[in-house]
Amino acid sequence: MWRMLINIYKEINQQTNIKRLTMKEILNIALIAHDSRKKELLEWVRNNAKLLSKHNLYATGTTGKLISELEFGTDQQPEYPFKGKVTRLLSGPLGGDQQIGAMVAQGQIDMLIFFCDNLAVQGHQNDVSALSRLASLYNIAFATNRTTAELLLTSTLLGDESYTRIIPDCIQQYANRKL
Protein backbone atom coordinates (compact mmCIF):
# COMPACT_ATOMS: atom_id res chain seq x y z
CA MET A 1 0.00 0.00 0.00
CA TRP A 2 2.74 2.47 1.01
CA ARG A 3 4.78 1.67 -2.09
CA MET A 4 1.75 2.31 -4.29
CA LEU A 5 1.08 5.66 -2.62
CA ILE A 6 4.73 6.67 -2.90
CA ASN A 7 4.76 5.81 -6.62
CA ILE A 8 1.55 7.76 -7.25
CA TYR A 9 2.95 10.74 -5.34
CA LYS A 10 6.18 10.59 -7.34
CA GLU A 11 4.27 10.56 -10.64
CA ILE A 12 2.13 13.55 -9.65
CA ASN A 13 5.16 15.62 -8.64
CA GLN A 14 7.63 14.69 -11.39
CA GLN A 15 7.01 17.92 -13.31
CA THR A 16 7.43 20.19 -10.28
CA ASN A 17 10.65 21.69 -8.97
CA ILE A 18 10.30 20.25 -5.47
CA LYS A 19 13.47 19.51 -3.49
CA ARG A 20 13.64 15.89 -2.35
CA LEU A 21 15.96 14.18 0.10
CA THR A 22 16.51 10.44 -0.09
CA MET A 23 15.94 8.55 3.14
CA LYS A 24 19.33 7.55 4.51
CA GLU A 25 20.09 4.29 6.26
CA ILE A 26 21.79 6.14 9.13
CA LEU A 27 19.77 9.11 10.34
CA ASN A 28 20.65 12.14 12.42
CA ILE A 29 18.17 12.02 15.29
CA ALA A 30 17.73 14.86 17.78
CA LEU A 31 16.46 14.00 21.27
CA ILE A 32 15.03 16.61 23.63
CA ALA A 33 12.97 16.35 26.81
CA HIS A 34 11.71 18.92 29.25
CA ASP A 35 12.62 18.18 32.87
CA SER A 36 9.22 16.66 33.74
CA ARG A 37 9.53 14.21 30.81
CA LYS A 38 13.23 13.30 30.93
CA LYS A 39 12.52 10.04 32.79
CA GLU A 40 9.99 9.05 30.12
CA LEU A 41 12.45 9.80 27.31
CA LEU A 42 15.20 7.82 29.06
CA GLU A 43 12.86 4.82 29.37
CA TRP A 44 12.03 5.15 25.66
CA VAL A 45 15.74 5.33 24.77
CA ARG A 46 16.46 2.29 26.95
CA ASN A 47 13.65 0.32 25.25
CA ASN A 48 14.88 1.34 21.79
CA ALA A 49 18.64 1.24 22.41
CA LYS A 50 19.31 -1.34 19.71
CA LEU A 51 17.54 0.71 17.02
CA LEU A 52 18.89 4.07 18.20
CA SER A 53 22.48 2.81 18.33
CA LYS A 54 22.42 2.51 14.52
CA HIS A 55 21.94 6.28 14.13
CA ASN A 56 23.75 9.53 14.94
CA LEU A 57 22.24 11.06 18.07
CA TYR A 58 22.13 14.73 19.02
CA ALA A 59 20.63 16.07 22.23
CA THR A 60 20.31 19.20 24.26
CA GLY A 61 22.68 19.43 27.24
CA THR A 62 21.13 17.67 30.21
CA THR A 63 19.17 15.21 28.09
CA GLY A 64 22.35 14.25 26.24
CA LYS A 65 24.25 13.82 29.50
CA LEU A 66 21.55 11.53 30.91
CA ILE A 67 21.40 9.43 27.73
CA SER A 68 25.20 9.08 27.70
CA GLU A 69 25.09 7.85 31.31
CA LEU A 70 22.36 5.23 30.72
CA GLU A 71 23.62 2.01 32.27
CA PHE A 72 22.90 -1.42 30.81
CA GLY A 73 24.27 -4.84 31.73
CA THR A 74 24.79 -5.97 35.31
CA ASP A 75 26.22 -4.45 38.47
CA GLN A 76 29.33 -6.56 37.92
CA GLN A 77 29.64 -5.62 34.24
CA PRO A 78 27.89 -2.33 33.54
CA GLU A 79 27.74 -1.17 29.93
CA TYR A 80 27.22 2.36 28.66
CA PRO A 81 26.24 1.96 24.99
CA PHE A 82 25.64 5.67 24.43
CA LYS A 83 28.74 7.01 26.20
CA GLY A 84 30.59 9.20 23.69
CA LYS A 85 27.94 8.53 21.04
CA VAL A 86 25.61 11.46 21.72
CA THR A 87 26.56 14.89 20.39
CA ARG A 88 25.59 17.21 23.22
CA LEU A 89 24.52 20.74 22.45
CA LEU A 90 23.68 23.52 24.89
CA SER A 91 20.87 23.09 27.38
CA GLY A 92 17.52 23.94 25.76
CA PRO A 93 16.92 27.22 27.63
CA LEU A 94 20.53 28.27 27.01
CA GLY A 95 20.29 27.94 23.23
CA GLY A 96 20.20 24.18 22.63
CA ASP A 97 16.69 24.28 21.13
CA GLN A 98 17.87 27.00 18.76
CA GLN A 99 20.98 25.01 17.83
CA ILE A 100 18.85 22.01 16.90
CA GLY A 101 16.46 24.33 15.03
CA ALA A 102 19.38 25.65 12.98
CA MET A 103 20.46 22.07 12.24
CA VAL A 104 16.92 21.28 11.06
CA ALA A 105 16.94 24.33 8.76
CA GLN A 106 20.35 23.31 7.36
CA GLY A 107 19.16 19.78 6.59
CA GLN A 108 21.35 18.20 9.28
CA ILE A 109 18.56 16.60 11.35
CA ASP A 110 16.31 13.89 9.90
CA MET A 111 14.17 13.13 12.94
CA LEU A 112 13.25 15.06 16.07
CA ILE A 113 11.99 13.34 19.20
CA PHE A 114 10.87 16.07 21.60
CA PHE A 115 9.09 14.99 24.77
CA CYS A 116 7.80 18.41 25.76
CA ASP A 117 5.80 19.35 28.83
CA ASN A 118 2.56 20.72 27.45
CA LEU A 119 1.18 21.44 30.93
CA ALA A 120 3.70 24.15 31.76
CA VAL A 121 4.79 27.27 29.94
CA GLN A 122 8.55 27.17 29.55
CA GLY A 123 10.79 30.17 30.12
CA HIS A 124 12.09 29.54 26.62
CA GLN A 125 8.63 28.86 25.13
CA ASN A 126 9.42 30.95 22.06
CA ASP A 127 12.39 28.67 21.31
CA VAL A 128 10.21 25.58 21.77
CA SER A 129 7.57 27.00 19.42
CA ALA A 130 10.19 27.98 16.85
CA LEU A 131 11.70 24.48 16.91
CA SER A 132 8.30 22.87 16.40
CA ARG A 133 7.59 25.26 13.53
CA LEU A 134 10.90 24.43 11.82
CA ALA A 135 10.38 20.68 12.20
CA SER A 136 7.02 21.04 10.50
CA LEU A 137 8.23 23.49 7.85
CA TYR A 138 11.21 21.35 6.79
CA ASN A 139 9.06 18.20 6.83
CA ILE A 140 11.22 16.11 9.13
CA ALA A 141 9.93 13.14 11.12
CA PHE A 142 8.77 14.74 14.38
CA ALA A 143 7.34 13.20 17.55
CA THR A 144 6.26 14.88 20.75
CA ASN A 145 5.04 11.73 22.49
CA ARG A 146 6.11 8.14 23.03
CA THR A 147 3.59 6.50 20.70
CA THR A 148 4.54 8.67 17.73
CA ALA A 149 8.24 8.22 18.53
CA GLU A 150 7.77 4.42 18.51
CA LEU A 151 5.97 4.55 15.17
CA LEU A 152 8.64 6.76 13.59
CA LEU A 153 11.57 4.70 14.81
CA THR A 154 10.04 1.42 13.65
CA SER A 155 8.75 2.69 10.29
CA THR A 156 9.56 0.51 7.29
CA LEU A 157 10.43 3.72 5.44
CA LEU A 158 13.59 4.23 7.53
CA GLY A 159 16.54 3.41 5.34
CA ASP A 160 14.29 2.90 2.31
CA GLU A 161 16.06 4.77 -0.49
CA SER A 162 12.94 4.69 -2.65
CA TYR A 163 11.30 7.05 -0.14
CA THR A 164 12.15 10.72 -0.43
CA ARG A 165 11.41 13.45 2.07
CA ILE A 166 9.98 16.42 0.24
CA ILE A 167 11.14 19.88 1.19
CA PRO A 168 8.21 22.23 0.51
CA ASP A 169 8.84 24.64 -2.35
CA CYS A 170 7.43 27.48 -0.22
CA ILE A 171 10.86 27.62 1.47
CA GLN A 172 12.62 28.46 -1.81
CA GLN A 173 9.81 30.79 -2.81
CA TYR A 174 10.18 32.68 0.45
CA ALA A 175 13.98 32.77 0.21
CA ASN A 176 13.79 34.13 -3.35
CA ARG A 177 10.88 36.54 -2.87
CA LYS A 178 11.16 40.04 -4.31
CA LEU A 179 11.20 42.80 -1.77
- Which tens digits make up the pLDDT trace of 153-179? 999 998 888 888 888 888 888 888 898
Short-list 91, 69, 52, 45, CA closest to 100? 91
Query: Considering the entire predicted model, what is its pTM?
Result: 0.84
Say if residue 161 is exposed, middle or buried (CB neighbours under 10 Å; 0-12, 13-18, 19+). Answer: exposed
Q: What is the pLDDT of residues 4-41, one digit of tens each?
A: 545 544 554 554 455 676 777 899 999 999 999 999 99
97 noted as active-site residue? yes
From 75, 97, 110, 127, the catalytic residue: 97
CB atoms within 10 A of CB 55: 19
